[in-house]
Structure 1
């Protein structure tokens, strides 16, 4: 029997092959999905919100008029798309140059690099941006500098910022809120509900968020459907939650959902981070002289990716929890979708599983008892398997 190194990573299989990644983003979802698919992931898209521009909104128009008439001492740009949309709306109203002139007379702060880029693209100059890209750090910076008697324009980013506005007002500032766009639930809730169901039933291995409002919206919709607690349980356990940055992660971590984030809050960095974390999501075992690696909906046998039917994958997960030990047919039956048939369903699913694996000896039949993974007795210990959030297996 040849020696097997379960830690050896196959070189011909894409890093995310065999994993299903849920995408909740509305904006740039196609870009994110393409990056994930290029790395082998199966992508399920369920936008948790949609952006409603307010170019015709009277509140935005009135805020713009007020700032042109009485320019702000400080302007806080929170998002690139929002700041650009504001300037474009002002141009449509014939106030573009007047607004740029008014903002240019004061100090401009950018919450992050995208907002900073939008400021510079408009021909303006930003004075400061926080390393954390958080509104809280912008607020601390302003309060430390002193805001009493100052007129401050705050460009909102989808939702109100009551804590920021209240703190500035209490410190003596006059705050003008600029609502450039807002987040609302998607017009078609079907894709979001299907994505949620995939998380609940184990069909999604990794769930991605690129904005805090998306996380809030998904939880709110789950509450409407009566599945919020089940969703939180899944996100705290087998499903890996990946956020683009700490601001996005905040509403999830506030309800005790652990998250992973890249060092830089960028889509590309998030995908590369996931690619690096992928080995920890797989379960690797030396079985019957082969290297077996369990991924979300597929298995690698000696580095070759093999698709496994959902029922077979459930059986394999149960067997992998106790590799080398016998698992009864009754226990395996309980793991099958439905789980209320007779034990013949286990035999049928097992036959299909063995065929999918291409090596029948991986799973042994123990007469009158059940089945077992033929774990190599002298092989290394099994490794991996959602080590961050607890073993899915």
Structure 2
């Protein structure tokens, strides 16, 4: 889909781990892709929280385990296997209620042969997990272990404790900036120069890192102003949307299904109309997408 001046749409994505796939998706839809990796996963190798989780799980002190990501679930098991037999961990998981946030941890646990009791519906946020608890699982007096992904989910933990649960966070990795941040710096400068029509975010943490690098370069306000002035903003789902909105950025496109393919397809399909509206002062969020 071209931009309003009939030139190919210029898209900047901050995807890291799946950057090559994102570039291919964008180009397949006829747009020009710039990939500026913004994140790096660092496993927590010296991680007493993982072994505290194992001790409580094996002792019967945990009632519910929530797996938030596939990568995190895999990292958790790999850490536990340095001290415990895999079969022992799986047998202990069979005795608790297992909840997963979305399709990736579902695939990992099914591959292990671990029973899944509940799976959150789209858009796969902590709110959908809380809906499961509200409808099916009383939390009063229960211990809920949560496999974290990157950073603690403070709002989720507050919601759990408000309903009487004890929360056991289980961090398995944290987010850091890429080793080479020059592509990210370059993308920030290109945004300020008006070289992009659309910026895409597949996680909230991407925005935190973009703003961190922009701040260090003395360009934070200029970058935010340039995005507001020149770019459409596409977000993969509610969590990223809330973070973007909190930073003062209007999210123009959020796909019906929170996955990368839908994000690219729906964003590029809607871009021409939305860019025309932006330039003529009739800017609206994509029809059918709720305000948050």
TM range (shorter): 0.7 to 0.9
- Which residue in the other structure is 1:317 paired with? none
Are 2:271 and 1:272 aligned? no
Shift of 1:281: 5.7
Q: For 1:36 and 1:162, locate their aligned partners in 2 and report how far apart those are by CA, in whole Å.
A: 33
Q: Which has the larger radius of gyration?
A: 1
* Equivalent runs, 1:27-42 vs 2, <5 Å: 27-42=17-32
Q: Could you say if the C-alpha distance between residues 71 and 118 of structure 1 is closer, same or farther in structure 2, counting changes exceeding 3 Å?
A: farther
- Which residue in the other structure is 1:220 paired with? 212
- Which residue in the other structure is 1:206 paired with? 198
Q: Could you say if the C-alpha distance between residues 282 and 67 of structure 1 is closer, same or farther in structure 2, counting changes exceeding 3 Å?
A: same
TM-score (norm 2): 0.85
Q: Unmatched 5+ residue regions in structure 1?
A: 1-8, 11-15, 284-382
Cα RMSD, aligned residues only: 2.7
Are 2:176 and 1:191 aligned? no
- Which residue in the other structure is 1:91 paired with? 81
Tell me the alpha carbon deviations over residues 16-35 of structure 1, each in whole angstroms, 9 at most, x when there is no partner: 96222111111111101111
* Equivalent runs, 1:29-68 vs 2, <5 Å: 29-68=19-58
- Which residue in the other structure is 2:121 paired with? 130
Q: For 1:76 and 1:94, locate their aligned partners in 2 and report how far apart those are by CA, in whole Å.
A: 20
Could you list the runs of 4 or more consecutive aligned residues of structure 1 that deviate by over 3 angstroms after TM superposition? 92-95, 383-390
Are 2:208 and 1:240 aligned? no
- Which residue in the other structure is 2:140 paired with? 148
Relative contact order (C-alpha < 8 Å, sep 6+): which is higher?
Answer: 2
TM-score (norm 1): 0.64
Q: Could you say if the C-alpha distance between residues 125 and 192 of structure 1 is closer, same or farther in structure 2, counting changes exceeding 3 Å?
A: same
Q: Could you say if the C-alpha distance between residues 196 and 72 of structure 1 is closer, same or farther in structure 2, counting changes exceeding 3 Å?
A: same
Shift of 1:143: 5.1
- Which residue in the other structure is 2:289 paired with? none
- Which residue in the other structure is 1:250 paired with? 242
Instruction: State the number of aligned residues.
Output: 279
Q: Does the Cα contact within 8 Å between 2:63 and 2:96 map onto a contact in 1? A: yes
Q: Does the Cα contact within 8 Å between 1:238 and 1:386 map onto a contact in 2? A: no
Q: For 1:95 and 1:196, locate their aligned partners in 2 and report how far apart those are by CA, in whole Å.
A: 47
Q: Does the Cα contact within 8 Å between 1:54 and 1:180 map onto a contact in 2? A: yes
Tell me the alpha carbon deviations over residues 173-205 of structure 1, each in whole angstroms, 9 at most, x when there is no partner: 222111111111222221111111111110122
Q: Residue 130 of structure 1 aligns to a residue in which SS? A: coil
